[in-house]
Amino acid sequence: MATYTITAENAVAAGVSATLLRIGFGEPAQNDAIVADAVKALAENHLQGGELVLLNGPASLPAACAIAHGVGHLYSAVGVFDPKLAGYVVSICHGGAFTVGQIILATDVAAAE
């Protein structure tokens, strides 16, 4: 089993087609192994990119940076779930429909049909 897992789901968020990445820890390990496995798991999802990607789940800071770097080049905006805000905070944005700091409420995210 890997030390870090990432699974992709198609979603709709705030009326926009999105990719929802469920991220999380696997076997206990140090960050050097976790980051390598996170990058590998991201590559194994063969993401095509698009308007918006949402990250939901636990991550160490090094793993979060590696994941953000990987998806930041593929998507116009990256939202990261914040349970205190009950939504996704747009943390990376390259123009388009979203702005940095914008909150996409979890209630506005649904599985794509």
Domains contained in the chain, number: 1
Which pLDDT belongs to residue 112? 83
The pLDDT tens digits for 55-110 are 999 999 999 999 999 999 999 999 999 999 999 999 999 988 899 999 999 999 99
Residue 84 within a domain: yes
Residue 34 within a domain: no
The pLDDT tens digits for 83-93 are 999 999 999 99
CA angle, 36 as apex, 41 and 22 as ends, to 5°?
35
Which residue's entry shows tokens 């709709």? 12
The residues near 46 (Cβ < 8 Å, ≥ 6 apart) are none
Which pLDDT belongs to residue 1? 67
The pLDDT tens digits for 3-59 are 999 999 999 999 999 999 999 999 999 999 999 999 999 999 999 999 999 999 999
CA dist., res. 33 & res. 37, Å (int): 6
Which pLDDT belongs to residue 9? 97
Residue 36 within a domain: no
Residue 31 within a domain: no
Residue 3 within a domain: no
Which structural domain, as residue segments, surrounds residue 77? 9-22+49-111
Q: What is the DSSP letter of 107?
A: G
Alpha helices in 1-113 (DSSP H): 31-44, 61-72
Amino acid at 14: A
Which pLDDT belongs to residue 45? 97
Residue 37 within a domain: no
Sign of CA dihedral 31, 34, 40, 41: negative
Which pLDDT belongs to residue 37? 98
Residue 80 within a domain: yes
Q: CA end-to-end span of the chain, whole Å?
A: 31
Residue 83 within a domain: yes
Helix, strand or coil, per DSSP, at residue 103: strand
